[in-house]
Amino acid sequence: MSVQNEQRLATPGRIGTIFRGVAAWIFFGAAVLAFKGGGLWLIAAAGFAAFGLLLAVAALVLQPGCEVNLIWQRVLGKAPIDCFLFGPIDRWEQNKCK
């Protein structure tokens, strides 16, 4: 992917950031519930907590693209890919504010 792709991805605005924050809290809540389940649910709890953390960080830094690739984008300097869930919200919000 080229740098041009990164420029086409919409940066999250207020609404996109709120959606990501709410999703992060939902994943944190699921992590707490899974942790209380014990046993094999601990693996699910770790996954929910990690994804919730990525969503929260992506919301704070207004990162365009897929939150799952946030670490690889920052560490390796790779171009982000669009988020299939939040990308349409970001594009709608960017077009609405023009």
Confidence of residue 98 (pLDDT cuts 50, 70, 90): low
pLDDT score of 3 more than 50? no
* pTM, entire model: 0.68
Question: What is the average pLDDT across 10-26?
Answer: 86
Backbone torsion region of residue 46, taken as left when φ is above 0, otherwise alpha when ψ lies between -120 and 50, otherwise beta: alpha
Q: What is the pLDDT of residue 4?
A: 46
- What's the pLDDT tens digit per position in 27-81? 888 888 888 887 778 888 888 888 888 888 888 888 777 887 887 777 788 777 8
